[in-house]
A and B are shown apart, each in its own frame.
Chain A
Amino acid sequence: MPQQRNVLHEILGKQPHRRPPQGPTGRQITLGIVILLLLVAGFTSFYTVQPEEEAVVKRFGAVYGITGPGLHFKLPFGIDSVQKVPTARVLKQEFGFRTVDASGERSRFNYENFLDESLMLSGDLNIIRVEWVVQYRISDPIKYLYAMREPTKTLRDLSESVMRRVVGNRIGSEVLTTGRVEIASEARNEIQEAMDRFDNGLHIITVELQDVVPPARVQPAYNEVNKARQEAEGMINDANRQRNEAVPRAEGTAERIIAEAQGYAAERVNRALGETARFNAVLAEYRNAPAVTRSRLYIETLRDVLPRVGSVVVMQEGQVLPLLNIDQTGLRQLSAVGDEPTRDQPAENALAEEDQ
């Protein structure tokens, strides 16, 4: 640069001083032109290729070679020209949405603006909104530059066309649920095939499906189905829970009823065995001396019972005869006897019960 300034000074800067006599001499002009040409040549004879780039070098418009990253020289004055292509970078096209780098944060544009791109028909003629990303790389810079005028636009057109074909060849519910992986890989292969047919040097790395959803107006109805499914499961779970609570409890109760019955049975049999054992023992004695034993048992019993009994009434030919040692209670009971001759029924009842 400083050199160039000197030259300018020589050519222009000195003019005011020598204005009246004459302009620069022919020598000076020639020298100036030569220096200028040399400078331009110097500045146009090298170029830098960034690490992720490759440069296509053309001489007089014809492709001459490809150079990799670094500093390179070429012929000046537009004889050689260079086009740099980012071959190592993974490039991306978005469909149905856009992301922008806003202050370092990736923010997502409203998809509403790209419904034309994302709405498509499934094979059962339903509408589905599909968002996807195509990642690709320029594998051949020469083909990329010279096979098509607009390879990127072509990639976009073809991606839209292929995605619609793939989605249109499936029924909607498959697209929304199980078909995602298959759709993505099928679309990738088909886009790659098209790129290969155009021979435009693009290599498709992946096709990634993003949101695949029904249109906004239908979305609530889809959510409603999910909700209904949850509710149905909830109802079934609730019923199962009730059942799982009630049945074991009932089984426990059943065990208890049976156990109680078994207890009753044991008790009943044991009592029978016990009572009959006693009876048998007494019977054996009775048989040895029936009359005596009979009286003895009778008397013994009464001796046991009488002291405990509230009152004793002696009957003779329908008449009530009070017995000895009648205290106040006895008196009261005695007077009551006439009115309520059934006073002793509980005892009879008890006896009757025992006999059953």
Chain B
Amino acid sequence: MNRNLTIAAIVIAAVLFTAWSSAFIIDEAEQAIIVQFGEPIGDVIDEPGLHWRTPFIQEVRRFDKRLLGWDGDVSQIPTLGREFIIVDTTARWRIADPLQFLRSVRDERGARGRLDDILDSVVRDIVSGTELEEIVRSADWEVDLAGLTEEEIKALQQMNLDSPERGRAQLEQDMLASASQQMPGLGIELIDVRIKRINYIESVRKQVETRMISERESIAARFRSEGQGRSQEILGGMERDLRRIRSEAERTAEEIRGAADAKATRIYGEAFGQDPEFYALFRTLESYKSLDENATIMIDADSDFFKYLQTTQR
């Protein structure tokens, strides 16, 4: 009884183990190839779910079915204009032909190694054959100078403002096309290649920053001198206005006075002209009235007045 039970248990265990070994699960994210003694057997299994194999002699090689990322090394590359720039590229790829993939690169690590070689050299070739402007700008590049200060425009005009021949997107397309040519042998499909980062190397960056600083400084200087100029202009205008206002007022005042003087003169002339001789008398007598105790009157003894005086004294 006890021995039978043990045998039964062993048989059941063996059956279970065999079943366990012959079933395998392919995940939604996976595809697989069955390999028997190192030789791929049958088609690629890309249907997720429960699958079967011959136990013990067949093994399952799984590959990711999803899009995979590739991140390039940050590399220093000289452009066509001999500026050294730092370029960091990134790419998306997938295992399009697992069989080919298995044969040529074996696994993802092998694939990454090949991708590094191919993409790095493609990126290097294209960047070093291109002006920096081409890489930075896009095909729809357009400069709008409105709203910029004169200094900024001047600084801009010193550099090449042309539209790029190809532009960044096209360069990325070129990289993709060029690298893709070498992909079929690897069982890889390259989906896209992009320039992730692009910047000057440290020493060039310092130079560019220095240029930016001096550019700003000249703009600042311009603002200041413009301010001074405007201020002087306003003060000059003020001086002009002040002199004009004052002199106009004085002129008007003189005109008014002159007119009044003329009118007075005419009035006097008309009145006194009626009898100049009487006027002389009238005026003389009139003027005597303003004499005071500080004055001394000298009377000629022969004058009429003295005659009257003598008469009245007598």
Contact = CB atoms under 8 A, between A and B. Distances in A.
A98 B110 CA distance: 34
A312 B224 contact: no
B132 interface: yes
Given A61-B27, A273-B267, A26 B5 contact: yes
Contacts of A145: 28-29
B111 to A, nearest CB: 13
B29 A149 contact: yes
Interface stretch (B112-120, B122-130, B174-182, B270-278): B270-278
Nearest to B168: A165
Among A264, A305, A343, max chain B CB count under 10 A is at: A305
Contact of A165 (B148, B169, B208, B271): B169
A121 B284 contact: no
A149 B66 contact: yes
Interface in B221-246: 221, 223-224, 226-228, 230-235, 237-238, 241-242, 245-246
A305 B288 contact: yes
Contacts of A126: 208, 212
A198 B92 contact: yes
A279 B282 contact: yes
B285 A301 contact: yes
A99 B257 CA distance: 83
B29 A123 contact: no
Given A171-B156, A305-B291, A309-B291, A149 B268 contact: no
Interface string A190-203: 00001001101000
Interface residues of B, number: 124
A276 interface: yes
B300 interface: yes
A95 to B, nearest CB: 11
B143 A121 contact: no
B198 A236 contact: no
A93 B125 CA distance: 33
A345 to B, nearest CB: 10
A253 B249 contact: yes
B294 interface: yes
B213 interface: yes
Contacts of B133: 123, 125
B211 to A, nearest CB: 8
A77 B192 CA distance: 40
B268 A236 contact: no
Interface in B65-114: 65-69, 71, 90, 92
Contacts of A108: none
A250 B246 contact: yes
Given A26-B2, A61-B27, A120-B199, A173 B300 contact: no
Interface stretch (A5-13, A46-54, A131-139, A217-225): A217-225
A71 interface: no
Interface string B296-314: 1111111011101000010
A34 interface: no
How would you classify the secondary structure of chain B's contact residues: helix, strand, loop or mixed? helix
Interface stretch (B14-22, B36-44, B53-61, B134-142): B134-142
Given A243-B238, A254-B245, A314-B298, A125 B67 contact: no
Given A121-B198, A224-B217, A347-B295, A147 B227 contact: no
Contacts of A42: none
A221 B220 contact: yes
A161 B220 CA distance: 34
Interface in A203-242: 214-215, 217-218, 221-222, 224-225, 227-229, 231-236, 238-240, 242
B121 interface: no
A266 interface: yes
A214 to B, nearest CB: 7
18 contacts: A146-B66, A149-B64, A154-B69, A157-B196, A164-B196, A168-B137, A250-B241, A250-B246, A257-B249, A258-B253, A265-B256, A276-B270, A279-B271, A279-B272, A299-B308, A312-B299, A350-B290, A351-B287
Given A308-B293, A313-B297, A344-B296, 19 more contacts: A26-B5, A60-B48, A62-B49, A120-B198, A121-B136, A122-B136, A154-B67, A164-B197, A168-B136, A169-B138, A218-B213, A228-B220, A239-B232, A246-B242, A247-B238, A258-B256, A261-B253, A276-B268, A337-B296
Interface of B: 2, 5, 25-30, 47-50, 64-69, 71, 90, 92, 132-133, 136-138, 140-141, 143-144, 147-148, 152, 156, 159, 161, 168-169, 191-192, 194-200, 205, 208-209, 212-213, 216-217, 219-221, 223-224, 226-228, 230-235, 237-238, 241-242, 245-246, 248-250, 252-254, 256-257, 259-261, 263-265, 267-268, 270-272, 274-275, 278-279, 281-302, 304-306, 308, 313
